Homo-oligomer: A and B are copies of this chain.
Amino acid sequence: MHISDEDLLQALRSQGLRITAPRRAICGALARHHNTHLTVDDLHRLAEEDAETHLDRSTVYRTIEALESAGLVTHMHLGHGAAVYHLAEEAHHHHLLCENCGSTTTVDDADFDDMMALVTERTGFVVNSHHFAMPGRCADCAKEV
């Protein structure tokens, strides 16, 4: 079962934060698109469509910041552009971004941890890499070359 918008709102409420129309719309968009990576722009657009009203981008930034510091949402960077956000519970995989076709491949934590254990073994460094995508070529594009 996935986190619903009500779960998100409830979590905000229990942090002593207030529930407002913009926050409802933003939480709704996040919950409804829990399986995607949304930029602030996406979120802004979706929330506006939802609320059928104008929202300011800074409101979106401030709301996700609140959700992020409450631990419900995380952001990461796919390539150079804007950061992408998703529910924290969806974060248990690593992203591989294809430089050629722009697709993202995911590796789940278990597999990724195996790989990163090798890094730690050789360097002592503990990788914490949900935060940045690794660029390269996806299986399909790798064949093309």
Q: A96-B123, A123-B105 are in contact. Are A129 and B137 (CB under 8 A)?
A: no
Interface string of A7-37 (1 = CB under 8 A from B): 0000000000000000000000000000000
A102 interface residue (CB < 8 Å to B): no
CB atoms of B122 and A111 under 8 A apart: yes
Interface string of A73-103 (1 = CB under 8 A from B): 0000100100000000000000010110000
Q: A115-B115, A118-B114 are in contact. Are A129 and B134 (CB under 8 A)?
A: yes
Interface size bracket, A side: 20 to 34
Interface string of A118-137 (1 = CB under 8 A from B): 11001111111101111111
Contacting residues, chain B, for A128 (C-beta < 8 A)? 99, 135-137
Given B77, B124, B133, B138, which contacts A124 in the complex, CB threshold below 8 Å?
B138
Contacting residues, chain B, for A139 (C-beta < 8 A)? 123-125
A142 interface residue (CB < 8 Å to B): yes
Chain B nearest CB from A80 CB (Å) reads 8
A70 interface residue (CB < 8 Å to B): no
CB atoms of A115 and B125 under 8 A apart: no
Chain B nearest CB from A131 CB (Å) reads 5
> Smallest CB-CB separation from A107: which chain B residue?
B123
Contacting residues, chain B, for A77 (C-beta < 8 A)? 80, 132
